[in-house]
Chain A
Amino acid sequence: MEFQFAGLADFIAMNGHGPFVWVAYGVTLLTMAGLVTQPLLERRRLRAEFRREQRIRERRAARRQPERPAAEAALAE
């Protein structure tokens, strides 16, 4: 088994069939890359959404926190 082309330029030209071969491989690789990145991006979006909800929850909890001692103090009086 040996390399079938004389050099890099020859390899890219592929005896005139280069554009067809490279476009076919390029589109295939792009599609495959899309298939891999799509779920990863989606997962990142889910995580960002979760974080945002969590921050809101924490802020709400923090706002409620200082009120409780005051209320308890009022009850104690």
Chain B
Amino acid sequence: MAWQWFHRLGSPRWFYEKTSAWLPWLAAASALLLAVGMAWGLGFAPQDAKQGNSYRIIFIHVPAAFLALAGYYLMAISGAIGLIWKMKLSFVVMRAAAPIGAALTFVSLFTGAVWGKPTWGTYWVWDARITSMLILFFLYVGVIALSGAFAREQLADKACALLALVGTVNIPIIYKSVDWWFTLHQPATIKLTESSSIDPSMFYPLLTMIIGFYCFYAWVLILHTRTLVLKRESRTQWVQQLLGEGR
């Protein structure tokens, strides 16, 4: 039973038809959660005692950073599934996840830099987390660049999957080493990584935003995957019919 379902999941057409029904729900859920979370975080959550209002950037910075990392693992795992079970759809998901992950990594880097100016007095600090995030961004860029270099999509799929897997093995090592590097060079005056417990009045809007970002991610990933499916299967009958209908 489970295997049958697994194989059906591998069919691009089945995926396309199935997800048509999910899209409006995911879109509505992410729009609602993000709107509520943003209004809550921007207007109703109390000011931070030390950082004032600039801390309100946390409500987009942290969810984006979460998803940037989770997105890399998702990309690598779907690449691995593609390599092991030769599943076409899995490669498509991997290819769709790369630009989304890169965009979210960029968002977390950008918001972090903008947050840094009022808080630390400078846009860029070579802090352990920021540096790790930057390297994660380069890992994404590598996968995207490699995917664009091949003329044959099948070759690009496999090469990207392998690179993503190698990157996944490396991510924990990179994070640990950057952490170690930072403690070595940490300037005494700036303390960035204090782990203070967050107040519930700030935590709930943050949680709303995190769930909202997850919904948004799922929605956008499905959108990108569907478009890539159409592009790749454009010679098949069902796609021709779909495009002809104008739906």
Direct contact of A and B (CB under 8 A): yes
Is the C-beta of B220 less than 8 angstroms from some C-beta in chain A? yes
Please tell me if the beta carbons of B118 and A17 are within 8 angstroms of each other in the complex.
yes
- B28-64 vs A, CB cutoff 8 Å, 1 = contact: the mask equals 0000000000100011111100001110110011001
- Given A20-B114, A20-B115, A31–B106 Cβ distance below 8 Å? yes
Segment 2-23 of A: residues with Cβ below 8 Å from B:
2-5, 11, 14-18, 20-21, 23
Between A and B, 5 residue pairs with Cβ closer than 8 Å are A4-B47, A15-B47, A15-B53, A16-B118, A17-B52
Size class of the A contact interface (CB-based, 8 Å)? 20 to 34
Please determine whether B114 and A3 come into contact, CB atoms closer than 8 angstroms: no
SS class, residues of chain A in contact with chain B: helix
B111 contacts the other chain (CB 8 A): yes
Known contacts A5-B43, A32-B216: A21-B223 contact under CB 8 Å: no
Alpha-carbon gap, A42 to B47, bound state (A): 42
A40 interface contact, C-beta 8 A: yes
Complex Cα distance, B223 from A25, in Å, reads 23
Given A28, A40, A47, which contacts B223 in the complex, CB threshold below 8 Å? Answer: A40
Other-chain contact of A17, B53, B227, B231 (Cβ < 8 Å): B53
**Interface residue B117 (Cβ < 8 Å from any Cβ of A):** yes
Interface residue? A73 (CB, 8 A): no
Q: A69 to chain B: which residues have CB within 8 Å?
A: none
Nearest B-chain residue to A41, judged by Cβ: B227
Given A4-B46, A17-B53, A28-B117 contact (CB < 8 Å): no
Tell me if A50 and B243 are in contact (CB < 8 A).
yes
Nearest first, the 3 closest Cβ-Cβ pairs linking A and B are: A14-B53, A39-B227, A50-B243
Q: Which of B107, B118, B220, B226 contacts A28 (CB 8 A)?
A: B107
Complex CA–CA separation, A54 to B243 (angstroms): 10
Q: How far, in angstroms, from A18 to B41 measured CA to CA in the complex?
A: 14
Q: Which residue of A lies closest to B230 (CB)?
A: A46
- How close is A25's CB to chain B, nearest CB, in angstroms? 6
Chain A residue, CB-CB nearest to B223: A39
Residue B224 is within 8 A (CB to CB) of chain A in the complex: yes
Residues from chain B with a CB closer than 8 A to the CB of A36 are 219-220, 223
Q: Are A2 and B44 in contact (CB under 8 A)?
A: yes
Shortest distance from the beta carbon of A16 to any chain B beta carbon, whole Å: 8
